[in-house]
Chains A and B, each alone.
Chain A
Amino acid sequence: MENIINNAICVRGLNKTYSNGFQALEDINLQVKCGEIFALLGPNGAGKTTLISIICGIANSSSGHVEVFGHDNITDYRIARSHIGLVPQELTTDAFETVWNSVKFSRGLFGKAPSPAYIETLLKRLSLWDKKDSQIRTLSGGMKRRVMIAKALSHEPDILFLDEPSSGVDVELRKSMWQQVRELQETGVSIILTTHYIAEAEEMANRIGIINKGKLILVEEKESLMKKLGSKKLLISLYRSLAEIPKPLLKFNLQLADKGNVLVFSYDPSKEDNAISDLLDHLKKNSIKYKDIDTQQNSLEEIFVQLVNA
């Protein structure tokens, strides 16, 4: 019961091995909470789309279970699937169909009675209303992406999967899409976003899962992940540039940057004794004057690279 209330999706022991022996997913265990934006990060071929495809019923798993709001996606597939909307990575649409008919078709597939009023609201929200009678083939790539979102939302799902939503999308559309995703989250929709753009996850997600070579390496709150793994850098701008690190400062593992004008000290902000004051004392003792001090947080990209390469 707790699972039904707290988790939109619950994946247990999921494995996928293709007929050629390639293992695309290995023992995936994952819970996606109701109403959160969950970003699944991973390089190309990590297994992100395979995982989504199995949850949505497009691909078969080799073993394991998927539950959507407590409903098994195989034995209770009707209820499980009715909760889910999927925006696939590829722009796959019926080129000769109009926007209106295509969205209406998607709503019908999910067993919903026709609702012209809802589709009108949806198309207006996605700035597609004036294109409702246009054939999809006449639309730009960005517009087609919006049509895909409209189709996925046509049956008013509680969970929305966005598989690489930013691929082939310009900056302006990306920002407006992110805004729409946030608005959806405010209405209680859980959003699962797969991406290999770190900035997207950093900007949008509440929690982040990192998948690589079919294995889910970690799942963590974005903030705590960055706190836990994101070491900080102390940047000390010097009055006079240094050719090398003075011997008394070697124990701090400092680095020189900007042609010797900046001393860089990496430290763990979660530790109380992080040696910053000790370092500043040493600078004073050795008559190394500084004019400015700044700090820099590791980006999610650096964390991601660390984890994937580990």
Chain B
Amino acid sequence: MINYYGILAIYNFEMARAIRTIGQTVASPVISTALYFVVFGSAIGNRIGDIDNIHYGAFIVPGLIMLAVLGQSIANASFGIYSPRYTGTIYEILSAPLSSLEITIGYVGAAATKSIIIGVIVLITAGFFVPIEIRHPLWMIFFLIMTSLTFSLLGFIIGIWIDGFDKLHTIPLLVIAPLTFLGGSFYSISMLPKFWQKVSLLNPVVYLVSGFRWSFYESADVSPIVSIIMIMVFLVTCMAIVAWIFKTGYRLKK
């Protein structure tokens, strides 16, 4: 017996928050994507030249989408669960006849949906600046959905783990942003010295960006099979941590 109405209540509640702030939800990724294209696509990109026979402006599109999707997934999911913890309204979620899986589906599903929408907005915006080719659209959708889900789960974990609003911003800023920027969003890791190429392989974002870029241009830093396996490993790891959180009541129940 699944509590569909319960899942839907959480999902709709979270989506309603994004709709209330629809202006900034849409404007923010559109403006930042446009700025990236002005700076990296036009000003710097013309001096870099093609990478793997792909124009630099087009090369960075998958990375830009990933950048937005990762950031939004973490921000939305962590705020979504931290906010009721902070205000105390979490009592209602915990006292409702909802399983831990249903609660997670509600919050993570809404966060992933929002970040997928943002990803699509970035893609459309990029289309105004460079011609975009998607050779494997189904794989592109697969990578987009899996990345949104995985990082929304990570955001959900961060939202439960943190104990202050300041950390809600510092964790993504100090950990996620560096990983994203060093994950090959704006360059191919083959451009790095050998040592740093190996170090980069420890960065999970490399696999996401590489796989996602492969679905666009069939150009990848690592095999797409490896990317898929790594995404699944991250996803299962995050799910295991969430399951442990609900089993023990860590930071949720006294």
Contact = CB atoms under 8 A, between A and B. Distances in A.
A109 B89 contact: no
B6 interface: yes
B92 A151 contact: yes
Contact of A18 (B12, B87, B254): B254
B171 interface: no
Interface string B95-106: 111110000000
B16 interface: yes
Contacts of B5: 107-114
Contacts of A109: 5-6, 9-10, 92-93, 96, 98
B47 interface: no
Given A108-B8, A109-B9, A109-B10, A88 B91 contact: yes
Nearest to A59: B254
Interface stretch (A29-37, A92-100, A231-239, A292-300): A92-100
A111 B3 contact: yes
B97 A93 contact: no
Contacts of B89: 92-94
Nearest to B95: A56
Interface string B45-70: 00000000000000000000000000
Interface residues of A, number: 36
B194 interface: no
Interface in B210-247: none
A81 B95 CA distance: 7
A86 B16 contact: no
Contact of B87 (A53, A94, A104, A106): A94
Contact of B95 (A57, A60, A111): A57
Residue of B9, B13, B97, B253 with most chain A CB atoms under a 10 A cut-off: B97
B88 interface: yes
Given A60-B249, A81-B96, A94-B87, A108 B254 contact: no
B91 A110 contact: no
A6 interface: no
B174 interface: no
Contact of A101 (B3, B8, B16, B87): B16
A58 B20 contact: no
Interface of B: 1, 3-6, 8-10, 12-13, 16, 20, 87-89, 91-99, 249, 253-254
